[in-house]
C-alpha cells in the first residue's frame, strides 16, 4: 500500500495499490487518444495496384508497456504516416490498425509509426528496404495506468455520480497553471498514461469539496488510487420543530466562518456537499430570515434543521438544530 499526500487545496490524502493480474482488463477504460496530427488523407496500399507497382514488404509491429515486458495484446491503436507532408502541410496517414500487434504491407521507403495506448504513446521512424530481412519492430510505450476512486472521512462510500476527477501534468507552467491531461474522469475508469507523476484533482459535489493529490504511474502497472475527502453531504430544512416537515419555498445561503457565500439554492430540502469546517445557514421564507451556525464533520452526512420560533423572526435571529443523517448513502 503506497500512501500519497495531498498537494495544495483542502487537506486530504490518497492511497494506492498496484493491480498486476490482467491489470487493464478489470475496469472500463478511457478510449480517447492523445493529440495526433490532423488526418485528412488516407492512402492504403491496394493489392491490385501493388501487383503492378513497387513490391510491398511485410512489416510487423508490437508494443511493450515496459522494456523486457510482454507484448500488449489489446487496446492499441497503430498509425503509419508518410514522412513527406501533403499539400496541406500535414503528414498523410498511410495505414492504421487497432488491437494488439499489427502487420502492414508497405512499399519500401521511410515511415513514421505511432502506437497509442489510451493517453500513452510512442513514435518511431522506420525504413523499409527493398531487399533483405526486415525484423519485427518493437516499440516500448513506457506506460502504465491509474484508476481513481474516493471516500469521505475514514471510509464512507461516495456515490459515483457525485465524483469526478481531472488529471494534470505535475509540472507548473510560468503562469502557475498545469497542463490538463484528461478531464472529467469517472470513478473506477482506467486511464492509460505514460510513466511519471500526475496531479489529480478530485471534486465531490459542486461546491467546495476539492482534494488534490500527486499520483505516480509506473510502467506495466495499474495503480488503483483512493482519495480521501474531508467533506460530508448535508440536507437543509426549515422546520417548526425538530424532526418536523420541511417548509417549502425557502431560499438558502451558506456562508463560511469568514462570511463568504459558498452556495445558494431554493427548495424545501436542498442537498449539497461541503468540505469540513464551520458554516452559517441563512434561510429566507415569507420575507423573514432565520440563521444558524453549524459544523461539518468529514464523513458524517447530516440534516441541518433551522427552527421557526413562535414569534415573528427578525433578520439574523438564531434558532436551529442539526440532526445527524445516514453516513452511508
Supply the DSSP string of 82-140, one letter for each residue: -SS--TTSSPPEEEEEEESSEEEEE-SEEEEEEEEETTEEEEEEEEE-SSS--PPEEEE
Segment holding 163, helix H or strand E:
strand 163-172
Check: CB of residue 207 under 8 Å from CB of residue 274: yes
Instruction: Find the length of the chain.
Output: 329
By the 10 Å C-beta count (0-12 exposed, 13-18 middle, 19+ buried), 132 is classed as exposed
Q: At CA 72, angle to CA 136 and CA 128, rounded to 5?
A: 20
Phi, psi of 237 (to 5 degrees): -145, 135
**pTM, to two decimals:** 0.76
Rounded Cα distance, 265 and 39, in Å: 47
The secondary structure element, H or E, covering residue 52 is helix 47-52
What are the angstrom distances between the C-alpha of 178 and each of 206, 215, 310, 319? 21, 15, 54, 45
Cβ contact 305:292 at 8 Å = no
List the pLDDT tens digit at each of the 329 positions of the chain.
Answer: 333 333 333 334 565 665 454 555 544 555 444 444 443 333 444 444 444 556 889 999 999 999 989 999 999 999 999 999 988 889 999 999 999 999 999 999 999 999 999 999 999 999 999 888 888 999 999 999 999 999 999 888 899 999 999 999 998 888 889 999 999 999 999 999 999 999 999 999 999 999 999 999 999 999 999 999 999 999 999 999 999 999 999 999 999 999 999 999 999 999 999 999 999 999 999 889 999 999 999 999 999 999 986 233 444 444 444 455 544 44
All cell numbers assigned to 273: 456537499
Amino acid at each position: 500500500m503506497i500512501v500519497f499526500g495531498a498537494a495544495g487545496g483542502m487537506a486530504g490524502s490518497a492511497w494506492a495499490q498496484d493491480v498486476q493480474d490482467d491489470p487493464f482488463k478489470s475496469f472500463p477504460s478511457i478510449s480517447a487518444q492523445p493529440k495526433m496530427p490532423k488526418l485528412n488523407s488516407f492512402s492504403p496500399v491496394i493489392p491490385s495496384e501493388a501487383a503492378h507497382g513497387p513490391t510491398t514488404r511485410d512489416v510487423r509491429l508490437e508494443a511493450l508497456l515496459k522494456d523486457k515486458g510482454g507484448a500488449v495484446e489489446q487496446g492499441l491503436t497503430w498509425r503509419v504516416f508518410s514522412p513527406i507532408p501533403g499539400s496541406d502541410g500535414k503528414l498523410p496517414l498511410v495505414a492504421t490498425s487497432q488491437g494488439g500487434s499489427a502487420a502492414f504491407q508497405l512499399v519500401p521507403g521511410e515511415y513514421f509509426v505511432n502506437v497509442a495506448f489510451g493517453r500513452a504513446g510512442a513514435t518511431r521512424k522506420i525504413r523499409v528496404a527493398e531487399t533483405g530481412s526486415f525484423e519485427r519492430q518493437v516499440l516500448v510505450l513506457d506506460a502504465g495506468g491509474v484508476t481513481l476512486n474516493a471516500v469521505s472521512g475514514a471510509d464512507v462510500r461516495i456515490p459515483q455520480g457525485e465524483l469526478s476527477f481531472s488529471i494534470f501534468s505535475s509540472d507548473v507552467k510560468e503562469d502557475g497553471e498545469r497542463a490538463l491531461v484528461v478531464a472529467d474522469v469517472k470513478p473506477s475508469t482506467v486511464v492509460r498514461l505514460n510513466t511519471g507523476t500526475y496531479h489529480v484533482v478530485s471534486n465531490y459535489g459542486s461546491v467546495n469539496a476539492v482534494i488534490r493529490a500527486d499520483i505516480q504511474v509506473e510502467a506495466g502497472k495499474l495503480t488503483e488510487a483512493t482519495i480521501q475527502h474531508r467533506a460530508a453531504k448535508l440536507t437543509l430544512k426549515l422546520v417548526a420543530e425538530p424532526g418536523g416537515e420541511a417548509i417549502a419555498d425557502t431560499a438558502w445561503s451558506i456562508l463560511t466562518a469568514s462570511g463568504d457565500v459558498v452556495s445558494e439554492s431554493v427548495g424545501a430540502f436542498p442537498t449539497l456537499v461541503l468540505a469540513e469546517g464551520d458554516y452559517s445557514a441563512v434561510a429566507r421564507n415569507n420575507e423573514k430570515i432565520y440563521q444558524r451556525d453549524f459544523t461539518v464533520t468529514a464523513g458524517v452526512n447530516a440534516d441541518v434543521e433551522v427552527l421557526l420560533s413562535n414569534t415573528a423572526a427578525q433578520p439574523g435571529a438564531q434558532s436551529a438544530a442539526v440532526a445527524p443523517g445516514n453516513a452511508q448513502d
